[in-house]
Chains A and B, each alone.
Chain A
Amino acid sequence: MEVFFQTLVAGVLKGGLYALIGLGMTLIMGVMGIINLAHGQFMMVAMYITYTLFHFFGLDPYTTLIISMPSLFLLGLVIQKFLLNPLMKVESILPENQVLMTVGIAMVLTEVARFIFTSNYLSVRTSYSSSAFYVGGISFSVPLSIAFILACLLTLGLFLFLIKTDLGRSIRAVSQDSGAAELMGIDSAKIKVITMGIGAGLVASAGTLLLPIYYLFPDIGGPFTTKAFIITILGGLGSTVGAIFGGLILGLAESFGATYIGMDFEDLVGLIIFLLVLLFLPGGIRRLTKV
């Protein structure tokens, strides 16, 4: 029974981080109508930023959030404005070509990282990296708990932004009907640029929060792009609330898979759930929650 609860806790903590990854992806999906296949690579870039700041400047990995998030926000802005938005203006180009463009961006980011940092595995070791505290016999990893709390705060912040501010409302308006949004005076091209920035910033925070408990190499982006995609499908494309549940489900699935089936099957369990959702609940969790 203790193993079960231990697994549950580990799954939920990890799920909180996955939710951050999924939220960025789903916002981009909703507003742009495309899947961002460079999402994991954005995260990889943020992880290298955190690594560099930790390694060369001695900054605490969590404080690097204030640098990694704005940096990726800017990177997202630039990519949307100069690489993706121009593709929309040419009518003969299918929207699918924007997706292809994100694949290209992903490759470039990965190879640039390999060029600068080589393919070696890197990690960030802090004094608290392997420490844990115990509540009722169940251990809570300190870095994972800090990451979870920060992830919850960021998610809360995002929802307040989306619900309470005019810019947040405009983002939701564009994702529901961009033509009507233009009539309201919303510049949808600008909203797309901002949304890509926010999506990249969110996944950057996940990368930074994950680094103290993970390792880093240039190809780490690919698996996380897949994870982000799975979370978005689980939650229902474009649904923000769904992305949170999707993240938690994937975190739990991986955690239980690793404990009860075997460490090697961690990713497999996530993919099996992904297939089951596609077969039996094609709309994702959105079908159940309606938001």
Chain B
Amino acid sequence: MLKVQGLNVSYGDLQVLWDVSFEVQEGEIVVLLGANGAGKSTALKTISSLVRPTAGSVEFLGARLDQVPSYGVINYGLAHVPEGRRLFSEMTVEENLILGSLTREAKAKRKKTLEWLYEIFPRLKERVKQPAGTLSGGEQQMVAIARGLMSLPKLVMFDEPSLGLAPIMVTEIFKIVEMVNREGMTVLLVEQNVHHTLAMCDRAYVLENGRITLSGTGQEFLNNDHIKEAYLGI
């Protein structure tokens, strides 16, 4: 479904991704693991065309996303829930969600999608008229996820959705990610929270210093000595 090949990305003189290739099949949950600064977020930003690769290609359902402007990517059915949530904090929860459904198809189904999401996130329904910036961290993350789902995407990319949340909220957010997948959407997840993610994912890749160093199924990873040592601390 999504095929990333030989990606090189630089910020000025600093190269952050080196020949990165990975794939996501339809219906999967795929996790991109890695430490801070390994290039995980950059990989997602490159897929969303927010950053341009110096070499390599991003193919999604047969279309070359690396040649599409960043605002055009959502039209292909790919939603990006960015790191740090990036809500429109002075706008209400509802306005944030509406802004997630600007594509023609999503706009036509806007009302229905809103109802569906309020069913899934009853806490957001109570806060529809509240400015998004006044919500708790967990609630803001829910708004960010819901805003991504408003475009009715085929693939959703989550960039560290558990970052900075209380443990109980982290569990909740991962349940939501699994729910999204059950609803028929493919998931590409970037995380540092290895315990949770390896248990629920189909496949995983490890990104170290801008290079993919390991790939396999979640189970293989949980039994891998290197992963155990470096990421699970066992």
Shortest Cβ distance from A91 into B: residue: B12
Complex CA gap A61/B89 in Å reads 42
Establish whether residues A184 and B74, one from each chain, have CB atoms under 8 Å apart when the complex forms: yes
Complex CA gap A149/B107 in Å reads 36
- The minimal Cβ–Cβ distance linking B188 to chain A, given in whole angstroms, is 14
Check: B80 CB closer than 8 A to any chain A CB. yes
CB-contact partner of B88 in A176, A187, A188, under 8 A: A176
- The minimal Cβ–Cβ distance linking B104 to chain A, given in whole angstroms, is 10
Total chain B interface residues with beta-carbon distance under 8 A: 27
Check: A287 CB closer than 8 A to any chain B CB. no
Establish whether residues A177 and B50, one from each chain, have CB atoms under 8 Å apart when the complex forms: no
Check: A273 CB closer than 8 A to any chain B CB. no
Check: B95 CB closer than 8 A to any chain A CB. yes
Complex CA gap A172/B90 in Å reads 9
Please encode chain B, from 56 to 83, with 1 for each CB lying within 8 Å of some chain A CB and 0 for all others: 0000000000000111111100011010
Residues of B within 8 A of A166 (CB): 98, 102, 107
CB-contact partner of A170 in B73, B82, B102, B103, under 8 A: B102
Establish whether residues A182 and B98, one from each chain, have CB atoms under 8 Å apart when the complex forms: no
Establish whether residues B102 and A176, one from each chain, have CB atoms under 8 Å apart when the complex forms: no
CB-contact partner of A186 in B71, B91, B107, B147, under 8 A: B71
Residues of A within 8 A of B99 (CB): 169-170, 173, 181, 184, 186
Chain A interface residue count: which class?
10 to 19
Establish whether residues A185 and B88, one from each chain, have CB atoms under 8 Å apart when the complex forms: no
Which A183-207 residues have C-beta < 8 A from chain B?
A: 183-188
Shortest Cβ distance from B95 into A: residue: A169
Establish whether residues B102 and A184, one from each chain, have CB atoms under 8 Å apart when the complex forms: yes
Shortest Cβ distance from A174 into B: residue: B88
Check: A261 CB closer than 8 A to any chain B CB. no
Complex CA gap A186/B48 in Å reads 13
Q: Which among B70, B91, B98 has the highest number of chain A CB atoms within 10 Å?
A: B70
CB-contact partner of A185 in B50, B90, B95, B102, under 8 A: B102
Complex CA gap A257/B9 in Å reads 60
Complex CA gap A64/B71 in Å reads 38
CB-contact partner of B69 in A177, A179, A187, under 8 A: A187
Check: A291 CB closer than 8 A to any chain B CB. yes
Establish whether residues B71 and A182, one from each chain, have CB atoms under 8 Å apart when the complex forms: yes
Complex CA gap A187/B102 in Å reads 11
Please encode chain B, from 93 to 115, with 1 for each CB lying within 8 Å of some chain A CB and 0 for all others: 00100111011000100000000
Establish whether residues A183 and B50, one from each chain, have CB atoms under 8 Å apart when the complex forms: yes
Establish whether residues A185 and B72, one from each chain, have CB atoms under 8 Å apart when the complex forms: yes
Residues of A within 8 A of B107 (CB): 166
Residues of A within 8 A of B103 (CB): 185
Establish whether residues B71 and A177, one from each chain, have CB atoms under 8 Å apart when the complex forms: no
Check: B86 CB closer than 8 A to any chain A CB. yes
Residues of B within 8 A of A176 (CB): 88-91
Complex CA gap A78/B223 in Å reads 61
Residues of A within 8 A of B98 (CB): 166, 169
Establish whether residues A179 and B88, one from each chain, have CB atoms under 8 Å apart when the complex forms: no
Check: A272 CB closer than 8 A to any chain B CB. no
Q: B: which residues have CB within 8 A of A?
A: 48, 50, 69-75, 79-80, 82, 86-91, 95, 98-100, 102-103, 107, 147, 151
Given contacts A166-B107, A172-B95, list 18 more A-B pairs with CB under 8 A.
Answer: A166-B98, A166-B102, A169-B91, A169-B98, A169-B99, A172-B90, A176-B88, A176-B89, A180-B87, A181-B88, A182-B71, A183-B48, A184-B74, A184-B99, A185-B73, A185-B74, A185-B103, A186-B99
**10 A–B contacts from the bound complex (CB under 8 Å):** A166-B98, A166-B107, A169-B91, A173-B88, A182-B70, A183-B70, A183-B82, A184-B71, A184-B102, A186-B99
